[in-house]
Amino acid sequence: MIQIHQLLPNLDYGDAISNHALEIRNFLRQWGYQSNIYVQYIHPRMSKECFYYQEHKEVSSPQNITIYHYSIGTDIQDYVKKIPDKKVMIYHNITPHWFFEGFNHQLTHLLEAGRAELKNFSAMPLLCLADSEYNLQELKALGYKRVEILPIIQDFSKFSRQPAPEIMSKYNDGNINIIYVGRIVPNKKYEDLIKTFYFYHKYINPRSRLILVGSYQGMEQYFIALQDLIKKLNLDQVIFTGQVALEELIAYYRSSHIFLSMSEHEGFGVPFLEAMFFQLPIVAFKSSAVPYTLGRSGVLVKEKRYEELAELVDTILKDQGLRERIIENQSARLKDFDKEKLLPQLKVYIEMITD
Amino acid sequence: MDIEIKDQEVEKIMEQIKENIGRKKALGVYSDEEIEWVKKMDGKVDSAHGPADHGFQEQLRQMNLDWELKNKVPILSHRRILGPVIIFSKKALRRLTKPYINLILGEQVVFNANATRVINQLTAKLGGLEGQNNNLTKRHEELFDKVDLWNAETRQDHAQLKLEHDQLFDKVDRWNAETRQDHAQLKLEHDQLFNKVDRWNAETRQDHAQLRLEHDQLFNKVDRWNAETRQQQAELNRNHAELVQHHQALFDKVDLWNAEVRQDHAQLAQHHQALFDKVDQWNEGLQKELAQLKDRHLTLYQKYTALQQENILLKRRLDIILSDLRKKTHLKPELARSLVIHQERLMDHAYFLFEHTYRGLPDEIRERFKVYLPYFSGMSDILDVGCGRGEFLELMREQGIPARGIDISEDMVYYCQQRGLVVEQKEALDYLTSLSDSSLGGVFAAQLLEHLPSPSLQEFIKLCYQKMQPGGIFIAETINPLSIISAIRNFYLDLSHIKPLHPEALRFLLEYLGFKEVQTLFLSPFSPELILQKLIPENSLGKEYQGLLELMNRNIDQINEVLYGYQDYAIIAKRG
């Protein structure tokens, strides 16, 4: 019996990619495959779920399949090149390096090199699994032959936990809360969220706040620049939560009224699915994988005119009928990402290789 | 702006948005300039507003670039022919040394990474702190503005207060003026009052002079009256001297009468003395006669005592003789039986003597028995069981009540018969048995029951009941054992006593055997001087001792009751 193992840089607790990998592993095991996860960095809470990638050598074999999540700046990528296994690449995308220019030179360099390497090894995997149509197009443009789509698999049952009570009581105060969730990185264009909020808060509804949930670790320069912008705009209701625990994330979603995204590059955009789950109307800038993930749901904007965006947000919040229609569409779209639908696709892809 | 939304009302929404913005611009809420100003702001760090100067930002940027110590120098060569060879060998060398260099640099890289991260975080925090500082400065300025505002308000309030203060002072001045006016008015009234008072004073002085004049006139009058009074007194003195003379004459007369009375008295005293002398002579004669009688009585008593002693000696001798005779073996049975009877009778005789000595004199006993008379009044056929010296029978005879007696003692029977009483020598139970039923009117038994053993006692009472007529009276007197002294002194004095009888036990026995209307009569109390004496309270004693005294006297009463209770009691019953 062949074995199917996964290689990825790190297995974190609560991280979307890590959960995705665990879902895949569990599904493979259900089919009867021997399946493990091998990583370079292990979160202490996940130590029972995975092995160090060096131990992968013991299971490495030309008969076995290795699914590797493409990454940059780790040793995993170098290791994958050396093993004889049948290889399947999962591509979560690489952010274009120019977003980081002026904020993190090192990362800018790494991203640039990573994209170059992606092109060089287009022949290595037998099969590529892209998160989205957008990623599929990108890989095909880089010369990859066999590319299929496997959206990120999310288990929403984790959101049934109790929300953090202190956040619930603090932010459910009658004010309108506009939320965005994502690491504070330049491609997500936090400055545009802030500028939109400027018009909404100053000229439409002063009883409002912008809640920005995400870690800014490694992106301090960008964070400082955002603070500077907020100061210049004289805004006092922009909340940076930093990295949060799951209960806190649930509380922020439950306390919010609308999900606003100005991101200009998303490989998939897990938070869009979360916003759908929490029934928040989504207003998003149309870029990269965003329209693919939203399908025909949510509201996509093609330009960033802040004063108009502010009015759009206000219209959605005030027009209950419109808001309900948006949420209804989003809920319908969310069903496409049901893991009961996605996992059988994975089975088909695996069988394509084994046959 | 173009939007994509799966909704039929997209255009309507966009129109609404545009209309809103147009209205805001028209109202001057915001201008195109402001929109442009916001748009042009970039997300880059502005050194003018940044947390540190540009040099610091550059160094930080450099640090973020260099922390990993990677050899980023590209391997190049400008030589046309040897170039590829040199590049190849340099690359080979770099690849060969890389693991060793990484080994050494590894830890340094980790440190650099940590240090860089810390500095980045500190920078971020610094930014945050500066933001807070600016906020504080802003708030500080706002506070200053507020303080200025308050100052202005306070100044205004102060001016207002000053105005009110001045008004108050004016009022006070007005009040002062009014008060002064009132004061002058009051002073005027006061002066007028003083003038009035002066006038009244002058008038009073005039009145006083007038009164003094009248007073002097009165004194003169009194002096005149005094002179008249003195004259009258001299006259009275003269009258008094005359009265004293009369009095003296009267005294002389009384003295004369006194002398006469004394003379009469002396004569009477002489008569009286003569009478006394005569009485003394008679007394002397009587004394002599009494002494002679006493001598005679003493002689008789000595003779009596000697006879008694002689009697005892003779009885003893007789007893010895009888005992000796009974020892003889050849005696005839009749004679032997006779001897026994004689000896027993000798003992009875001794009891007769004992009773004579200790029971009390017959007259005293008879006197005591009078208490029973009312019970037997109008009855007949009374039997006195154990009649002894017959005191009860004598009493019955005196009262005319037919009565007879029996006694076991020959001497007692003899003594009674000598006194003319109907008495037989009989044993009680035998005698009663021999009588026909309901033949007796009553039964009297004094100091008898304590001589009977228990079965005989019951038998005796039963027989009495049987032989008495219905309505007949039964009276039995015995020693009261409830009185400890009586029990000790009286019961145990007599050797022939067998058993003391409790009054209640006797009452029970009588009722049990059919008697009705049973009553107990306690008799012969100790004379008051014989019993324990009570303490007599004195008035000087304190209240607390009064209580103690009363308690003590109650205790004495209780002890007296137990020790010195009635000496005898009688049980009186009727046959139903």
A331 part of contact set with chain B, CB < 8 Å: no
CA distances in angstroms from B131 to A103, A185, A309, B134, listed in the order given:
20, 21, 27, 5
Q: Specify whether A166 is located in the same domain as A25.
A: no
* First CA to last CA distance, chain A: 13
- Flag whether B534 is in a domain: no
Give B95 to chain A, closest Cα distance, Å: 14
Q: In the block, which residue shows the tokens 């200025």?
A: B148
E-strand stretches of A131-199: 147-149, 176-181
- Flag whether A269 is in a domain: yes
Considering only the beta carbons, identify the residue of A229, A231, A326 that sits closest to B134. A231
The C-alpha R_g of chain A, in whole angstroms, comes to: 21
Q: Are B473 and B440 in contact (CB under 8 A)?
A: no
Q: Which residues pair with B516 in a beta bridge?
A: B574
Q: Specify whether A136 is located in the same domain as A161.
A: no
φ, ψ dihedrals at A42, nearest 5°:
-115, 125
Domain of A175?
157-337
The chain A residue lying nearest B1, using CA atoms, is A303
Residue of A98, A107, A226, A228 for testing the chain B interface, max B β-carbons within 10 Å: A228
Angle between helices B83-327 and B54-66 (to 10 degrees): 90
- Flag whether A116 is in a domain: yes
Q: What is the CATH number of the domain that holds A172?
A: 3.40.50.2000
Give A204 to chain B, closest Cα distance, Å: 10
- Flag whether B9 is in a domain: yes
Q: Domain end: A85, A120, A151, which one?
A: A151
Q: Specify whether A316 is located in the same domain as A170.
A: yes
For chain B, what is the domain count? 1
- Flag whether B23 is in a domain: yes
Considering only the beta carbons, identify the residue of A220, A230, A308 that sits closest to B124. A220
CA distance linking residue B126 with residue B77, whole number of Å: 46
Q: Are B459 and B565 in contact (CB under 8 A)?
A: no
Give B44 to chain A, closest Cα distance, Å: 5
Which residue from A153, A89, A195 is spatially nearest to B38, judged by alpha carbons? A195
- Flag whether A317 is in a domain: yes
For chain A, what is the domain count? 2
Q: Specify whether A143 is located in the same domain as A171.
A: no
Helices (H) and strands (E) in chain A, counts: 13, 13
Q: Are B464 and B545 in contact (CB under 8 A)?
A: no
What is the per-residue pLDDT for B57? Answer: 65
What is the per-residue pLDDT for B50? Answer: 41
Q: Residues B452, B453, B459, CA angle at the centre, nearest 5°? A: 80
What is the per-residue pLDDT for A311? Answer: 94
Q: Specify whether A176 is located in the same domain as A248.
A: yes
Q: Are strands A258-261 and A176-181 parallel, antiparallel or unpaired?
A: parallel
A104:B1 CB<8 A:
no
Q: Which residues pair with A148 in a beta bridge?
A: A129
Q: Specify whether A68 is located in the same domain as A174.
A: no
A308:B1 CB<8 A:
yes
Domain of B30?
1-40
Strand, helix or coil for residue B405: strand
Which residue from A304, A266, A220, A234 is spatially nearest to B40, judged by alpha carbons? A304
B24:A301 CB<8 A:
no
Print burial letters for B390-400: b (CB count within 10 Å at least 16), e (below 16): bbbbbbbbeee
What is the per-residue pLDDT for B73? Answer: 55
Q: What single-letter amino acid sits at B170?
A: D
Q: If you ran DSSP here, which 8-state letter would residue A14 be given?
A: S
What is the per-residue pLDDT for B58? Answer: 55
Q: Specify whether A329 is located in the same domain as A218.
A: yes
Q: Residues B85, B90, B96, CA angle at the centre, nearest 5°? A: 125
Considering only the beta carbons, identify the residue of A198, A230, A300 that sits closest to B38. A198
Q: What single-letter amino acid sits at B183?
A: H
What is the per-residue pLDDT for B347? Answer: 72
B35:A227 CB<8 A:
no
- Flag whether B575 is in a domain: no
Q: Specify whether A252 is located in the same domain as A332.
A: yes
Using an 8 Å CB-CB cutoff, list chain A residues near B131. 227, 230-231
Strand, helix or coil for residue B495: coil
User: Between residues 271 and 290 of chain A, which touch chain B (CB distance below 8 Å)?
Assistant: 286
CA distance linking residue A39 with residue A33, whole number of Å: 19
B43:A227 CB<8 A:
no
Using an 8 Å CB-CB cutoff, list chain A residues near B127. 223-224, 227-228
Write out the residues of chain B at the interface with chain A, using a CB-CB cutoff of 8 A.
1-7, 9, 13, 16-18, 20-21, 24, 29-30, 35, 38-39, 41-46, 49-51, 60-61, 64-65, 67-68, 117, 120-121, 123-124, 127-128, 131, 134-135
A106 part of contact set with chain B, CB < 8 Å: yes
Q: Which two tokens stand for residue B4?
A: 């994509």
Q: Are A225 and A190 in contact (CB under 8 A)?
A: no
B3:A291 CB<8 A:
no
Q: Specify whether A333 is located in the same domain as A231.
A: yes
CA distance linking residue A131 with residue A267, whole number of Å: 7
The chain A residue lying nearest B37, using CA atoms, is A233
A308:B18 CB<8 A:
yes
The C-alpha R_g of chain B, in whole angstroms, comes to: 77
Give B48 to chain A, closest Cα distance, Å: 10
CA distance linking residue A41 with residue A52, whole number of Å: 8
Q: How many inter-chain contacts (A to B, CB under 8 Å) are there?
A: 126
Strand, helix or coil for residue A52: strand
Using an 8 Å CB-CB cutoff, list chain B residues near A286. 4
- Flag whether B133 is in a domain: no
What is the per-residue pLDDT for B290? Answer: 92
CA distance linking residue B31 with residue B39, whole number of Å: 13
A203:B30 CB<8 A:
yes
- pLDDT tens over chain B, length 576 residues: 788 887 777 888 888 899 998 998 888 888 888 888 888 887 564 433 444 444 466 567 667 767 776 655 556 555 557 777 877 888 888 788 877 877 777 778 888 888 888 888 888 888 888 888 888 988 998 898 899 889 988 988 998 999 999 999 999 999 999 999 999 999 999 999 999 999 999 999 999 999 999 999 999 999 989 888 888 888 888 888 888 888 888 898 888 899 889 988 988 999 999 899 999 999 999 999 999 999 998 888 888 877 877 877 788 788 888 888 878 777 788 888 888 877 777 776 667 777 666 667 778 888 999 999 999 999 999 999 999 889 999 999 999 999 999 998 888 898 899 889 999 999 999 999 999 999 999 999 999 999 888 889 999 999 999 999 999 999 999 999 999 988 888 888 888 888 899 999 999 999 999 999 999 999 988 888 888 888 887 777 777 778 888 889 899 999 998 899 999 999 999 998
Q: Are A97 and A111 in contact (CB under 8 A)?
A: yes
Considering only the beta carbons, identify the residue of A225, A299, A301 that sits closest to B43. A225
What is the per-residue pLDDT for A39? Answer: 93
A190:B5 CB<8 A:
no
- Flag whether A346 is in a domain: no
Q: Specify whether A96 is located in the same domain as A163.
A: no
User: Between residues 234 and 253 of chain A, which touch chain B (CB distance below 8 Å)?
Assistant: 236
- Flag whether B198 is in a domain: no
What is the per-residue pLDDT for B49? Answer: 40
Residues of chain A predicted below pLDDT 70: none
- Flag whether B28 is in a domain: yes
CA distance linking residue B73 with residue B53, whole number of Å: 30
Give B150 to chain A, closest Cα distance, Å: 27
- Flag whether A181 is in a domain: yes
Q: Specify whether A134 is located in the same domain as A244.
A: no
